[in-house]
């Protein structure tokens, strides 16, 4: 019998997929954790579930309660699924520079969405800070606070890390992924380093983020950008990321990311979102640096469905001076 018992049990335990063309090209095993196969379609379902469960355990969220979060996408989607399943209300604060599709999707899932003016993190009216303040005014409500709530990285320490270790029979040499909150990188790498400290942890960063410089120089200074990627890169080191042991960082620019996702779509049939493209671009760079014979694991964070009007829209790419790769 291999029956999964309901939605909560369907989160995690995703396949680890060999990306054949990249593995053959590099002589390394390039393996991607298929997080797009979670019920909410992304790596953030795990964090959403753990943040809700930890709040239930510490008593801050009781039956019939409300989860408030500031999020532009996948975390809100994950929370809406988990909250519907557990009988909670979801309220999402989102900046007004996000696509209408995301607002519509969250509303379809049953979340109340509050679109607020886009202002920097330092501003008190920033969407994350508004979410925190609003949650504090409600009874029986939590602010999920994915950036600094370490239930997020705990989800990957307790699920993603052990899954990768067992799916590779302990044979993983490198783990690499990009960082939004840092939950995935920090939690997964903490587990893997505990099992084998020689596993190399590599942060993959898009342009227009401060994390490449943070890893390589110790100073969180932004690189020139912006990048068209969504959900990754950061100007600051979050509580989730702060304790991570990271060996190296690589940068992948938007053209490399576009080339990667178009190539994998047209040559192999995969339909990935932009952060998966950054992650696979980083995996190939590391494979070329280390040479053949290594096992490199990364994250396939979500699929291309949410990115049709941008990443998969040649007119949008042209506006950003990005070439559309052609595959005859």
Q: Which of 195, 226, 212, 229 is nearest to 310 (CA)?
A: 229
Indicate whether 302 belongs to the interface with ligand PMP (CB under 6 A): yes
Least distance to ligand PMP from the beta carbon of 180, Å? Answer: 3
Q: Between 26 and 178, name the residue whose CB sits nearer to ligand PMP.
A: 178
**Catalytic site residue 44?**
yes
Residues 179-218, one symbol each (x = binds ligand PMP by CB under 6 A, - = not), give xxxxxx----------------------------------
Indicate whether 73 belongs to the interface with ligand PMP (CB under 6 A): yes
Q: Which helix (H) or strand (E) holds 164?
A: helix 161-167
Q: Between 42 and 145, name the residue whose CB sits nearer to ligand PMP.
A: 42
How many alpha carbons fall within 13 Å on the CB side of residue 159?
27
Least distance to ligand PMP from the beta carbon of 78, Å? Answer: 9
Sheet architecture: strand order including 112-116: 112-116, 89-95, 66-70, 141-143
Contact 148, 205 (CB under 8 A): no
Residues 39-58, one symbol each (x = binds ligand PMP by CB under 6 A, - = not), give ---xxx--------------
DSSP state of 260: H
| Bridge-based pairing state of the strands 29-34 and 295-300 | parallel
Piece of 86-94, 174-182, 209-217, 288-296 that binds ligand PMP (CB under 6 A): 174-182
Q: Strand, helix or coil at 326?
A: coil
Q: Between 280 and 294, name the residue whose CB sits nearer to ligand PMP.
A: 280
DSSP state of 222: P
Query: CA torsion 104→90→81→42, rounded to 10°?
Result: 70
Size of the site for ligand PMP (CB under 6 A): 18
Instruction: Pick out residues in 134-153 that bind ligand PMP (CB under 6 A).
Output: none
Q: Which residues pair with 302 in a beta bridge?
A: 42
Instruction: Pick out residues in 256-275 that bind ligand PMP (CB under 6 A).
Output: 273, 275
Among residues 44, 193, 285, 306, which one is catalytic? Answer: 44
Indicate whether 80 belongs to the interface with ligand PMP (CB under 6 A): no
d(CA 285, CA 26): 9
Q: Between 253 and 302, name the residue whose CB sits nearer to ligand PMP.
A: 302
Q: Between 132 and 273, name the residue whose CB sits nearer to ligand PMP.
A: 273
| Bridge-based pairing state of the strands 66-70 and 29-34 | unpaired
Contact 196, 170 (CB under 8 A): yes
d(CA 160, CA 91): 27
d(CA 230, CA 322): 16
Least distance to ligand PMP from the beta carbon of 235, Å? Answer: 14
Piece of 81-89, 178-186, 264-272, 310-318 that binds ligand PMP (CB under 6 A): 178-186
Least distance to ligand PMP from the beta carbon of 317, Å? Answer: 18
299: tokens are: 């994250």
Q: Between 35 and 294, name the residue whose CB sits nearer to ligand PMP.
A: 35
d(CA 40, CA 77): 6
Q: Which of 14, 23, 38, 74 is close enough to bind ligand PMP by CB under 6 A? A: 74
User: Where in the sequence numbering do the catalytic residues fall?
Assistant: 44
Q: Which residues sit at the interface with ligand PMP, rule CB under 6 A?
A: 42-44, 73-74, 178-184, 231-232, 273, 275, 301-302
């Amino acid at each position: 019998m291999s029956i999964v018992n309901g939605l909560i049990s369907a989160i995690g335990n995703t396949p680890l997929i060999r990306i054949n063309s990249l593995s053959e090209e590099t002589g390394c095993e390039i393996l991607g954790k298929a997080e797009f196969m979670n019920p909410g379609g992304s790596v953030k379902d795990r964090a959403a579930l753990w943040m809700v469960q930890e709040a239930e355990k510490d008593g801050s969220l009781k039956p019939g309660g409300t989860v408030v979060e500031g999020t532009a996408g996948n975390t809100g989607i994950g929370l809406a699924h988990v909250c519907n399943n557990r009988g909670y209300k979801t309220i999402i604060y989102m900046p007004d520079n996000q696509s209408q599709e995301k607002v519509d999707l969250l509303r379809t899932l049953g979340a109340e969405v509050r679109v607020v003016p886009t202002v920097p993190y330092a501003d008190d009216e920033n969407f994350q800070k508004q979410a925190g303040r609003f949650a504090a005014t409600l009874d029986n409500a939590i602010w999920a606070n994915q950036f600094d709530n370490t239930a997020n990285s705990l989800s990957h320490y307790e699920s993603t890390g052990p899954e990768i270790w067992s799916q590779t029979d302990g044979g993983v040499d490198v783990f690499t992924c990009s960082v939004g909150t840092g939950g995935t990188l920090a939690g997964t790498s903490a587990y893997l380093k505990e099992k084998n400290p020689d596993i190399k942890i590599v942060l993959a960063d898009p342009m227009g983020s401060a994390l490449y410089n943070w890893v390589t120089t110790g100073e969180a200074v932004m690189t020139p950008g912006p990048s068209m990627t969504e959900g990754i890169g950061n100007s600051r080191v979050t509580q989730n990321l702060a304790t991570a042991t990271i060996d190296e960082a690589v940068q992948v620019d938007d053209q490399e990311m576009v080339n990667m996702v178009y190539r994998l779509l047209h040559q192999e049939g995969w339909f990935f979102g932009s952060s998966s493209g950054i992650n696979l671009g980083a995996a190939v760079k590391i494979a070329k640096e280390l040479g053949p014979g290594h096992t490199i694991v990364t994250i396939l964070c979500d699929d291309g469905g949410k990115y049709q009007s941008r990443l998969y829209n040649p007119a949008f790419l042209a506006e950003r001076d990005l070439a559309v790769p052609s595959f005859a």
